[in-house]
Amino acid sequence: MTELAAIFGLQGPSLSAAEKAFFRDANPWAFILFARNIETPDQVKNLTNSLRDTVGRECLIFIDQEGGRVQRLRSPHWYDYPSLGSIGSLYEMDREKTRRTVFLHHCMIAADLREVGINANCAPVLDIPIEGADPIISDRALGATSRQVLDLGQAALAGLMTAGVAPVIKHIPGHGRATVDSHLELPIIQDSILKLASTDFVPFIGMQEAPMAMTAHLIVEALDRDNPVTVSPRAISYIREKMGYSGLLMSDDLDMKALSGNLTELTRKTLKAGCDVVLQCSGKFPSMVEVAKGARILDELGRMRAKIAEYCAEDPRDFDYEAGMAEYESLIFRE
């Protein structure tokens, strides 16, 4: 296979002739959608069909649909889901019901996505925010302890895959301690490896079955004092060998300000460090061309991991959407 080891965004709600030509020639492994690409269900379905037509295969199409602040499909055409933090806050009161709520939350989201041709979701967030951290994670988190995040993360994973959507755990090895937003600048984590291994790393280690994981753009000094995780061979080696993660590893968006250097250089460094694919979200032509110049064709191991991820987006189980939504609402609105 000759898929480029890249996931690209696009400019608007429909494909331009130039985008069609570029995607046909570049043949990226997958695509990602944002709010700028979303108008109505019919429009999104046409867009996802067009994207697959350009590459001639049933590729993965990603989105960030967590609930709360981070959801690209919104009312009036889609359900506005609450944040995972608000659901997770009920965990100590009733763990079983909270697990069920998180499971249904992700089943419902996955059913919404499948309906319009989206079959991969950059969720769940497994980061554990601490007091004093930047609010970029905050109520996106499933909880404040590694045990709770792992427990509810497994429910989230099951919900997405039950409805035929491939999940992405993020942001490995953990973004919850960051005191700055990596969209804007580079966070530096100074805690010891013993501390991190007993807290932040735990949910990721416990969810090795996840088909895909997204890297965190931050420096973990205990792993590499000089390089962000995404471009650090030492950090990626730790994720693979010590944390035991063997699924497809994708970068977070290379356009984020936490990373420095031109996109061609960053793409090469990211893939050389050990990520399987790079993510570039802006949909801007000059940026996509720079990434394409630095990217390579998926290697044999990356192709195997990519195929496993694709399998997770096939053949959803029978799911009664109306009954699921009725149960879900009875749980999230419970006293």
What tokens appear for 216 in the block?
């965190």
Checking DSSP bridges between strand 248-253 and strand 60-63, what pairing results, if any? unpaired
| pTM (two decimals) | 0.97
Write out pLDDT tens, residues 98-111.
Answer: 999 999 999 999 99
pLDDT for res 24: 97
CA end-to-end distance (rounded Å), the chain: 53
Give the CB-side neighbour count of residue 232, counting CA atoms within 13 A.
Answer: 25
Per-residue confidence (pLDDT) for residue 247, from 0 to 100:
98
**Dihedral angle sign, alpha carbons of residues 218, 221, 227, 232:** negative
Q: Of 183, 224, 226, 276, which residue is the catalytic one?
A: 183
User: What's the mean pLDDT in 34-52?
Assistant: 98
Going by C-alpha positions, the residue among 316, 306, 317 that lies closest to residue 57 is 306
Q: Return the C-alpha torsion angle 36, 38, 43, 49, nearest 10.
A: 80
Strands 70-71 and 65-67: antiparallel
Only one residue has tokens 């471009």, namely 231
The chain-wide mean pLDDT, for the chain, equals 96
Q: Is 175 a catalytic residue?
A: no
Residue 317 has what pLDDT? 79
pLDDT per residue as tens digits for the range 230-289: 999 999 999 999 999 999 999 999 999 999 999 999 999 999 999 999 999 999 999 999
23 band by pLDDT with thresholds 50, 70 and 90: very high
CATH of residue 19:
3.20.20.300
Chain position carrying tokens 């000059």: 286
Strand ranges, E, within the chain: 4-8, 28-32, 60-63, 65-67, 70-71, 120-121, 166-172, 188-189, 212-215, 219-220, 248-253, 277-280
pLDDT of 316 reads: 83
Model confidence band, residue 314 (pLDDT cutoffs 50, 70, 90): confident
Catalytic, 183? Answer: yes
Say what the pLDDT of residue 318 is: 81
Secondary structure, 3-state, 188-257: EECCCHHHHHCCCCHHHHHCCCCCEEEECCCEECCCCCCCCHHHCHHHHHHHHHCCCCCCEEEEEECCCC
Catalytic residue among 127, 224, 252, 253: 252
Model confidence at 335: pLDDT above 60: no
User: How many residues belong to the chain?
Assistant: 335
Task: State how far Cα 269 lies from the chain centre.
Answer: 20
Give, as one character, the DSSP assignment of residue 125: B
Amino acid at 145: T
- Domain that includes residue 141, residue range: 4-332
pLDDT above 70: percentage of residues in the chain: 99
Count the domains in the chain: 1
Q: What's the confidence (pLDDT) of residue 117?
A: 98
Which amino acid makes up residue 118? I
pLDDT at 154 over 80: yes
Q: What is the pLDDT of residues 172-228, one digit of tens each?
A: 999 999 999 999 999 999 999 999 999 999 999 999 999 999 999 999 999 999 999
Confidence of residue 91 (pLDDT cuts 50, 70, 90): very high
